[in-house]
Amino acid sequence: MDCYTANWNPLGDSAFYRKYELYSMDWDLKEELRDCLVAAAPYGGPIALLRNPWRKEKTASMRPVLDIYSASGMPLASLLWKSGPVVSLGWSAEEELLCVQEDGAVLVYGLHGDFRRHFSMGNEVLQNRVLDARIFHTEFGSGVAILTGAHRFTLSANVGDLKLRRMPEVPGLQSAPSCWTTLCQDRVAQILLAVGPDLYLLDHAACSAVTPPGLAPGVSSFLQMAVSFTYRHLALFTDTGYIWMGTASLKEKLCEFNCNIRAPPKQMVWCSRPRSKERAVVVAWERRLMVVGDAPESIQFVLDEDSYLVPELDGVRIFSRSTHEFLHEVPVASEEIFKIASMAPGALLLEAQKEYEKESQKADEYLREIQELGQLTQAVQQCIEAAGHEHQPDMQKSLLRAASFGKCFLDRFPPDSFVHMCQDLRVLNAVRDYHIGIPLTYRKYRYKQLTIQVLLDRLVLRRLYPLAIQICEYLRLPEVQGVSRILAHWACYKVQQKDVSDEDVARAINQKLGDTPGVSYSDIAARAYGCGRTELAIKLLEYEPRSGEQVPLLLKMKRSKLALSKAIESGDTDLVFTVLLHLKNELNRGDFFMTLRNQPMALSLYRQFCKHQELETLKDLYNQDDNHQELGSFHIRASYAAEERIEGRVAALQTAADAFYKAKNEFAAKATEDQMRLLRLQRRLEDELGGQFLDLSLHDTATTLILGGHNKRAEQLARDFRIPDKRLWWLKLTALADLEDWEELEKFSKSKKSPIGYLPFVEICMKQHNKYEAKKYASRVGPEQKVKALLLVGDVAQAADVAIEHRNEAELSLVLSHCTGATDGATADKIQRARAQAQKK
Partner 1 sequence: MAFPHRPDAPELPDFSMLKRLARDQLIYLLEQQHEVDKLYKVENKPALSSNEQLCFLVRPRIKNMRYIANLVNADKLAGRTRKYKVIFSPQKFYACEMVLEEEGIYGDVSCDEWAFSLLPLDVDLLSMELPEFFRDYFLEGDQRWINTVAQALHLLSTLYGSFPNCYGIGRCAKMSYELWRKLEEEEDGETKGRRPEIGHIFLLDRDVDFVTALCSQVVYEGLVDDTFRIKCGSVDFGPEVTSSDKSLKVLLNAEDKVFNEIRNEHFSNVFGFLSQKARNLQAQYDRRRGMDIKQMKNFVSQELKGLKQEHRLLSLHIGACESIMKKKTKQDFQELIKTEHALLEGFNIRESTSYIEEHIDRQVSPIESLRLMCLLSITENGLIPKDYRSLKTQYLQSYGPDHLLTFSNLRRAGLLTEQAPGDTLTAVESKVSKLVTDKAAGKITDAFSSLAKRSNFRAISKKLNLIPRVDGEYDLKVPRDMAYVFSGAYVPLSCRIVEQVLERRSWQGLDEVVRLLNCSEFAFTDMTKDDKASSESLRLILVVFLGGCTFSEVSALRFLGREKGYRFIFLTTAVTNSARLMEAMSEVKA
Stretch that binds partner 1, among 269-277, 596-604, 740-748, 775-783 (CB under 8 A): 596-604
Interface stretch with partner 1, choices 77-85, 131-139, 443-451, 571-579 (CB under 8 A): 571-579
Pick 501 or 608: Cβ nearer partner 1: 608
Rg (C-alpha) for the chain, rounded Å, is: 50
- Judged by CB under 8 A, the stretch of 137-145, 148-156, 720-728, 770-778 that binds partner 1 is 720-728
Stretch of residues binding partner 1 (CB under 8 A), selected from 326-334, 381-389, 418-426, 669-677: 669-677
Alpha-carbon span 41 to 667, nearest angstrom: 85
Q: Which is nearer to partner 1, 183 or 669 (CB)?
A: 669
Contact residue for partner 1 among 79, 173, 671, 707 (CB under 8 A):
671
| 378 or 654: CB nearest partner 1 | 654
Residue of 288, 607, 619, 788 that binds partner 1 (CB under 8 A): 607
Cβ atoms of 219 and 233 within 8 Å: the answer is no
Among 62, 210, 216, 581, binds partner 1 (CB under 8 A): 581
Count of CA atoms in the C-beta half-sphere (13 A) of 307: 28
> Closer to partner 1 at the Cβ: 65 or 696?
696
Q: Which of 358, 612, 645, 769 binds partner 1 (CB under 8 A)?
A: 612
Question: Considering the rule CB under 8 A, would residue 608 count as an interface residue with partner 1?
Answer: yes
Question: Binding pattern to partner 1, positions 678-707, x when CB under 8 A?
Answer: x----------------xxxxxx-------
Query: At closest approach, how far in Å is the CB of 773 from partner 1?
Result: 19
Distance CA 816, CA 825 (A): 10
Closer by beta carbon to partner 1, 309 or else 605 = 605
Task: Pick out residues in 619-658 that bind partner 1 (CB under 8 A).
Answer: 629, 633, 636-637, 640-641
Rounded least distance, CB 702 to partner 1, Å:
9
Please report whether residue 659 would count as binding partner 1 according to CB under 8 A.
Answer: no
Specify the residue, 668 or 789, whose C-beta has the smaller distance to partner 1: 668
3-state secondary structure of 619: helix
Residue 394 burial (CB count, 10 A):
8
Locate all alpha helices (DSSP H) within 496-559, ordered by sequence: 502-513, 521-530, 534-543, 547-556
Closest CB to partner 1 among residues 409, 609 = 609
Residue from 674, 738, 741, 746 binding partner 1 (CB under 8 A): 674
**In the complex, what is the shortest distance from the CB of residue 707 to partner 1, in angstroms, rounded to a whole number?**
14
Applying CB under 8 A, among 577, 661, 742, 748 the residue interacting with partner 1 is 577
CB of 546 to partner 1, least distance (A): 6
Is position 727 an interface residue for partner 1 (rule: CB under 8 A)? Answer: yes
Identity of the residue numbered 452? I
Other CB atoms within 10 A of residue 502 CB: 17
Is 604 one of the binding residues for partner 1 (CB under 8 A)?
Answer: yes
* DSSP classification of residue 52: S
For partner 1, the closer CB: 199 or 678: 678
Decide: helix, strand or coil at residue 327: strand
Residue 717 touching partner 1 (CB under 8 A): no
* Residue of 320, 385, 225, 412 whose CA lies nearest to 33: 320
Q: Nearer Cβ to partner 1, position 571 or 782?
A: 571
**Which residue in the set 59, 667, 743, 822 belongs to the binding site for partner 1 (CB under 8 A)?**
667
Does the footprint of partner 1 cover residue 484 (CB under 8 A)? no
CA 620 from chain center: how many Å?
Answer: 40
Binds partner 1 by CB under 8 A, chosen from 214, 274, 466, 571: 571
Cβ-based nearer residue to partner 1, 471 or 541: 541
Q: Is the dihedral of CA 244, 247, 250, 255 positive or negative?
A: negative
Q: Indicate the residue among 589 and 611 with the shorter CB distance to partner 1.
A: 611
Q: Is residue 78 involved in binding partner 1 (CB under 8 A)?
A: no
Query: CB of 183 within 8 A of CB of 149?
Result: no
How many Cα atoms sit within 13 Å of 233 on the Cβ side?
A: 24
**According to the binding rule CB under 8 A, does residue 748 interact with partner 1?**
no
CB closer to partner 1, 149 vs 571: 571
585 in contact with partner 1 (CB under 8 A): no
Q: How many residues bind partner 1 (CB under 8 A)?
A: 51
Shortest Cβ distance from residue 230 to partner 1 (Å)?
A: 39
346/336 Cα distance (integer angstroms): 7
Question: Whole-angstrom Cα distance, residue 727 to residue 810?
Answer: 30
Q: How far is CA 433 from CA 42, 44, 204, 427, 734, in A?
A: 17, 12, 44, 10, 104
Cβ proximity to partner 1, 134 vs 699, nearer residue = 699
The least distance separating partner 1 from the CB of residue 740, rounded to whole angstroms, comes to 19
Please give the Cα distance from 68 to 461 (Å, whole number).
14
Binding-site member from 251, 287, 597, 726 for partner 1 (CB under 8 A): 726
Alpha-carbon 307 to chain mean position: 45
The CB-of-512 to partner 1 minimum distance in angstroms stands at 20
Q: State whether residue 313 is helix, strand or coil.
A: coil
For residues 274 and 448, what is the distance between their CA atoms, to the nearest angstrom? 10
User: Which residue lies nearer to partner 1 by CB, 507 or 546?
Assistant: 546
**Smallest distance, partner 1 to C-beta of residue 576, A:** 9
Q: Pick between residue 15 and residue 698 the one whose CB is nearest to partner 1.
A: 698
Is beta strand 141-148 parallel, antiparallel or unpaired with respect to 37-40? unpaired
Q: Considering the complex, what minimum distance in angstroms separates the CB of residue 477 from partner 1? A: 16
Given 59, 260, 361, 613, the residue binding partner 1 (CB under 8 A): 613
Query: Which residue of 322, 573, 623, 785 would you call a contact of partner 1, by CB under 8 A?
Result: 573
Q: Report the distance separating Cα 11 and Cα 13, nearest Å.
A: 6
For residues 494 and 484, the answer to whether their CB atoms sit within 8 Å is no
Sheet architecture: strand order including 299-302:
267-271, 280-284, 288-292, 299-302
* DSSP 8-state code for residue 816: H
What is the SS3 string spanning 187-253?
CEEEEEEEECCEEEEECCCCEEEECCCCCCCCCCCEEEEEECCCCCEEEEEECCCEEEEEECCCCCE
- 476 near partner 1 (CB under 8 A): no
DSSP of 342-405: ---HHHHHHHHHHHHHTT-THHHHHHHHHHHTT-HHHHHHHHHHHHHH--SHHHHHHHHHHHHH
Among 65, 689, 756, 816, binds partner 1 (CB under 8 A): 756
Binding residues among 501-560 for partner 1 as defined by CB under 8 A? 517, 545-546
Q: Is there a contact between 184 and 167 (Cβ–Cβ < 8 Å)?
A: no
In the list 228, 672, 704, 827, the residue contacting partner 1 (rule: CB under 8 A) is: 672
Q: Identify the CA nearest to 602 among candidates 629, 642, 575.
A: 575
Of the residues 371, 734, 770, 808, which one makes contact with partner 1 according to CB under 8 A: 734
**641 vs 822, beta carbon nearer partner 1:** 641
Nearest to 403 by CA among 416, 425, 385: 385
* Burial call 48-60: b when 16+ CB within 10 Å, e when fewer: bbbbbbeeeeeee
- Pick the binder of partner 1 from 236, 464, 506, 605 (CB under 8 A): 605
* Binding footprint of partner 1 on the chain (CB under 8 A): 517, 545-546, 568-569, 571-575, 577-578, 581, 599-601, 604-605, 607-609, 612-613, 629, 633, 636-637, 640-641, 667-668, 671-672, 674-675, 678, 695-700, 721, 723-724, 726-727, 730-731, 734, 756
